[in-house]
Amino acid sequence: MLLLGGACLLLFPTLQNKITATRSDAAQLDAEWAANYYSVTARVYSYDVAWALIKQRPLLGLSKVGLEPAMARQYRAMYPGIESAHYLLPHNQFLYNLAAYGALGLLVFVVGFYYALWEGIRQRNLMLLLMYSIVSLSFMVEYTLETQIGVLIGLFFILLAAAPVAPAGAPGAE
């Protein structure tokens, strides 16, 4: 795996360019205006704005409908140097749910979403563990389940991995 990763770094200039661009982007974190032009910087500022809103309504949140206008108001108050066209919702599924639905909503989401993983671990379903790991990693950098494609791709593969498999020797199993 390390050899494959090293080969990708050496052979794919696109990956090298992405690493260089991300480093350059991350170097701009101290400049508020940079959120207008750099995606990583904009995401960091969106997390900061979301945390400010979460502190205001920690238990029940702002609602999914009220989140975007509340974020815009908070952006204007906290970071006037960021243009409204560059306001972002928090690009993290857990932070998004916490801001929109509060701690109670996040708890319901986590229990409801990860219950199947708990059952899969008890059944030693390695594929389900892998799919949940992949989707959970995407939760860290996107609000995956707030888009149609995120729901379709994420849940399709989780449900596919969770499909029951007939044990060896069962009627119909080969």
- pLDDT score at 163: 84
Which amino acid does the sequence have at 24? S
Retrieve residue 106's tokens.
């996040």
How many H-runs (helices) and E-runs (strands) does the chain carry?
Answer: 7, 0
Q: What is the pTM of this model?
A: 0.85
| DSSP-derived 3-state class of residue 48 | helix
- pLDDT score at 15: 84
- Whether 33 is in a domain gets the answer yes
> For residue range 61-113, what is the model confidence (pLDDT) as tens digits?
999 999 999 999 999 999 999 999 999 999 999 999 999 999 999 999 999 99
Retrieve residue 96's tokens.
């998004």
- Whether 40 is in a domain gets the answer yes
- Whether 47 is in a domain gets the answer yes
- Whether 169 is in a domain gets the answer no
Tell me if 9 sits within 8 A of 15, measured CB to CB: yes
- Whether 5 is in a domain gets the answer no
- Whether 2 is in a domain gets the answer no
| 49-61 b/e (C-beta count within 10 Å ≥ 16 → b) | bbebbbeebeeeb
> For residue range 143-170, what is the model confidence (pLDDT) as tens digits?
999 999 999 998 899 999 988 766 666 6
Residue 137, domain extent: 29-162
Domains: count for the chain: 1
| DSSP-derived 3-state class of residue 146 | helix
- Whether 12 is in a domain gets the answer no
Q: Which of 122, 131, 53, 50 is nearest to 89 (CA)?
A: 50
- Whether 156 is in a domain gets the answer yes
